[in-house]
Structure 1
Amino acid sequence: MLAALDIGLGTTLAGTGSQAQAAVPSTIPPTISNNSGRGDQVYVYNIGTLLSTGQQGWADANGTFHAWPAGGNPPTDAPDASIAGPASGQTMTLQMPKFSGRVYFSYGQKLVFKLTTGGLVQPAVQNPSDPNRNILFNWTEYTLNDSGLWINSTQVDMFSAPYAVGVKAGDGSVKNTGHLEPGGYNGFFSALRGQPGGWANLIQTRSDGTVLRALAPGHDIEAGALPANVLDDYINRVWQKYSTSTLTVTPFGDQPNTKYYGRVSGNVLNFTNTSGAVVTTFQKPDADNIFGCYKLLDGPNDLVRGPISRTCAQASTAATLLPNPTQPDTSSSGFHADVVTNHYARKIHAQMAGGMAYAFAFDDVGNHESLVHDGDPQPAYITLDPCN
């Protein structure tokens, strides 16, 4: 099966911020550098939602937008939106329109995209029958709007072919993020293989032994490759602690007086505001709820429940809820110190340059994400790094 694609601003990419210092042009040029050292043909795709109209579609190399045609049920083949990418050691420049979208890249084979009556669908490689299962590929997420460019290096769904992103500001400075430490690619997979408890099952390989990716743990719980109770011990200890003490959540960095106070009663975590009124409650979550920040720990796009949920999901993933009753924890020094934690996220952060990564949906809580932004963007950069 293929999974429905939602490429709005999403959970991993903020599309709001300070106003642009100058008018943002209708397109900006991203330079794609192929430093992978691989001899395979690279294919590039720029797909997303056109912000001016809300239409889903793709952009060609010149930045011209093409709306997707109507899909079907069963899904029909999408038009070939691929752009021939640069050979190893070469670069190419595209034009990036005002999109909220993704730039995919694949090695050796074109990706398979389908269209349903609800729009585009994307690879769902947690399914062994997905047609993209044996292709080495990855993507970056971005939003380009009148307030500037946000572009990230994401591992929210999987850790795969490495790359970094960057943007040149109007003052000439360049911001980069997403590179691995030397040896970080193989180091990550070696560390994951050595982690007991089913974590090695996250790794997907081709029949010839080629390592393709490690799926994020939420996908592996869904597929049965990782035990659903993998965080139960930690969650039980959190529930016990906050039945007799208070968890304080200050979800907005620019609103230090907006605080919520959590206490556990039975199977429910109740949050009150500074006046003592209950503002939201959460049933005791499991690992799947935490990794996805959904179901019992859903994070709606509001100003109360969503911000509290995202903060708690991040603190649970990083295992800081027990040692620190004041959240979010903006220091990464205590992340993943507990033996029960999201080892996928722990090992990614350990291998990323500067420790910055988007290893789960709300890794941006506390500003630990691999994201660059500028309100006056000039060229952008996507660098395909080697798998070693």
Structure 2
Amino acid sequence: MSLQIDLVNSTSSPTVYAYVTGLDLNANNAWLLLRSDGQTLYHPTSPSQPLTPLAEDCAIPLGSPGATRSIRVPRLVGGRIWFSLDKKLTFLLNPGPAVVMPSVTNPSDPNYDIKWGFVEFTYDTTQVFANISYVDFFSIPIAMSLSTASKQVKSVAGTSHDGLDAVAADLLAQHDRDGQGWDKLVIRGADGSALRVLSPNSGMALHPGLLSDYFDALIDQAWTQFRSAPLTIDTQAAAGVVQGRVSSDDDKLRFPATSFARPSSADVWNNSSGPFDVGQVGDEGRALIPRLAAAINRGTILSGGTHPVDLSPEGYYVSERTNHYAR
């Protein structure tokens, strides 16, 4: 069983390449890439040396602006469809094999000065799941649509063609207003144009200390508020709606089955360290962590009511301390 995916070059560039990576469910979760014809499977073998080039050409040319290229993928988990403008990407192999993918936080990466992005997807025996991911960075606009067996078409438009420049300009303007270093999230090419915009967490990897105390005052306000009033969160999971209060004994935000020490700003940005390490909590905690971090990022943590707060898009990211990258 395979899935046909039509890739459309909606850019103004005559040179756009696509790549497909993932773990092949039909081959014991072995690494898989598609070769340049968009049809032939390539399962790389373990190399003897780190950073070994691929043995096959896996760059799928999309053709001129407006052209469509059809590819077929088998059942995959952890899949990505990558796109690059004007130049090919470099994928390497480490012993295992392990695929070394392009990085936005390593200036020595051979792909660092190329404009690229990706869509995440899984195609297993029960579903097709796809996601335009801007968790770590944003670069080229990517849209997607899905045609179902019942002839329904579901679409995600992505950003406008000038979305990258608009986001970069907004972050520069935000830095001019508050001096917090948002300008450092904008990565530019040799010609001065924007290559990508990094998330704060990725930006901190390039610039240690960037935004490192940004949410501290807001977190302190929240901890003070939740000593006398409960924080109510709908886990949207088996735990249902739960309430937490900050204990005067140990300064922890305590829910029925989970407690959280006061997080740092870095814990909020990465959503995975300190008290937000999902490996240290049970099911309730794993449901609470992303919702608690989201309330801080969105600037809604002090708003009362049940979180996630049900607001129109204009109601988020309006407070003084908020995640302006996400905004």
TM-score for the superposition, normalised by structure 2:
0.88
1:42 paired residue among 2, 16, 35:
16
The alignment-based identity, stated in percent, is 27
Deviations 1:162-214 (A, max 9, x none): 11011001121211114324753432221111012111110111121121000
DSSP 3-state at the match of 1:189: helix
User: Larger Rg: 1 or 2?
Assistant: 2
Query: What is the aligned counterpart of 1:321 among 295, 301, 314?
Result: 301
Higher relative contact order by CA 8 Å / sep ≥ 6: 1 or 2? Answer: 1
Q: What is the aligned partner in structure 2 of residue 336 from structure 1? A: 317
Unaligned runs of 5+ in 2: none
- Following the alignment from structure 1 to structure 2, what is the Cα–Cα distance between the partners of residues 174 and 329? 29
Is residue 2:243 matched to residue 1:261? yes
Q: Which amino acid aligns with 2:7?
A: I
Out of 208, 211, 214, the position equivalent to 2:194 is: 211
- Whether the 8 Å CA contact 1:263–1:270 is kept in 2: the answer is yes
1:193 to 172, 175, 180: 172
Determine if the alignment matches structure 1 residue 65 to structure 2 residue 41. yes
**What is the DSSP-based 3-state SS (H/G/I as helix, E as strand, rest coil) of the residue aligned with 1:237?**
helix
Which amino acid in 1 is paired with 2:9?
A: N
- Partner amino acid, structure 2, of 1:246: P
C-alpha root-mean-square deviation of aligned residues, in Å? Answer: 2.1
Partner of 1:291, secondary structure, is helix
User: 1:101-250 counterparts in 2 under 5 A?
Assistant: 101-117=79-95, 119-181=98-160, 183-196=162-175, 197-224=180-207, 226-250=210-234
Letter in 2 for 1:262: G
Partners of 1:117 and 1:239 in 2: CA distance: 47
Q: 2: CA distance between counterparts of 1:222 and 1:283?
A: 24
Task: Using the TM superposition, give the Cα deviation of residue 72 of structure 1 relative to its aligned residue in structure 2, in angstroms.
Answer: 5.3
Is 1:285 matched up with 2:268?
no
Shift of 1:78: 3.0
Q: Report deviation, 1:67.
A: 1.8
Q: Which residue of 2 aligns with 1:78?
A: 54
In the superposition, relative to structure 1, how do residues 130 and 339 fare at CA in structure 2: closer, same or farther (>3 Å)?
same
Q: Is the 8 A contact 1:272 1:280 kept in 2?
A: yes
Counterparts of 1:181 and 1:110 in 2: how far apart (Å)? 24
Partner deviation per Cα, 1:336-362 (whole Å, 9 max, x = no partner): 12110110001xxxxxxxxxxxxxxxx
Counterpart residue identity of residue 75, structure 1: L
Q: Say if 2:6 and 2:68, in contact at 8 Å, map to a contact too.
A: yes
Is 2:141–2:163's contact at 8 Å kept on the other side of the alignment?
A: no
Match for 2:253 among 264, 270, 274?
Answer: 270
Partner secondary structure for residue 326 of structure 2: helix
Which residue is 2:29 aligned to? Answer: 54
- Which of 63, 75, 88 in structure 2 is aligned with 1:98? 75
Q: Does the Cα contact within 8 Å between 2:138 and 2:164 map onto a contact in 1?
A: no
Amino acid at match of 1:190: A
Q: 1:350-365, aligned counterparts within 5 Å?
A: none
Q: CA deviation at 1:81?
A: 2.0
